[in-house]
Amino acid sequence: MTAPVHTGAATEERVPEHWATAWDAALAAVELDVESAERLIAQLHAGVDEAPEPADRPWVAPALLGPIPLEFADRARHLLARQTEVSERLAEAMVTVRSQTRALGKLDRAERRPVFLDRAL
C-alpha cells in the first residue's frame, strides 16, 4: 500500500507506478483508435476512393485496471468526448453511404439501354 499524500484540504492516495503506466498505455491505445477513425472520416470527406490501411495491431480488451487515477481524469474525459464525436460522425457517414448506394441502385435500374430494331419498312 502506498502512503497518502497530504495536499492541504484533502488527502490523495499516491498511484503505484505500474498502475499509472497501465492506465497511460490503455488511454494511448484508445487514442490511436480514435485517431485512426478520425483519419478515415477525413478521407471520406476528401473523396479518397482507396480503402484505408488496416490497423497495425489487433484490438485487445484491456485488463481490469481498477479506478482511473485522478491525474488521467481530464485526458479520459477529453478522449471520451472525441470517441463520442467520432462515433456520431461514422454513424452519419454510414447512413449517407447507404442512402447514396440505394439511390445509385435505382439509377442503374432506370437507365436501361434502348433497344433498336433495324427493319425495312
State the amino acid at position 27 in one-letter form.
L
Interaxial angle between packed helices 73-110 and 17-46, expressed in degrees from 0 to 180 and rounded to the nearest 10: 30
- Taking a C-beta distance cutoff of 8 angstroms, is the pair 15, 66 a contact? no
DSSP, res 61: P
Tens-place pLDDT, residues 40-60:
888 887 877 776 676 676 766
Q: How confident is the model at residue 10 (pLDDT cuts 50, 70, 90)?
A: very low
pLDDT recorded at residue 54: 66
DSSP, res 10: S
Q: How confident is the model at residue 39 (pLDDT cuts 50, 70, 90)?
A: confident
pLDDT recorded at residue 46: 82
Is the pLDDT reported for residue 108 higher than 90? no
- Taking a C-beta distance cutoff of 8 angstroms, is the pair 15, 69 a contact? yes
Question: Which residues lie below 8 Å from residue 8, measured CB to CB, with a gap of 6+?
Answer: none
* Beta bridge mates, 4: 13
Count the neighbouring beta carbons within 10 Å of the beta carbon of residue 94. 10
Confirm whether pTM is higher than 0.85: no
Percent of the chain with pLDDT over 90: 19
Q: How confident is the model at residue 106 (pLDDT cuts 50, 70, 90)?
A: confident
Tens-place pLDDT, residues 16-32:
788 888 889 889 988 98
Cα 76 to the center of its chain, rounded Å: 15
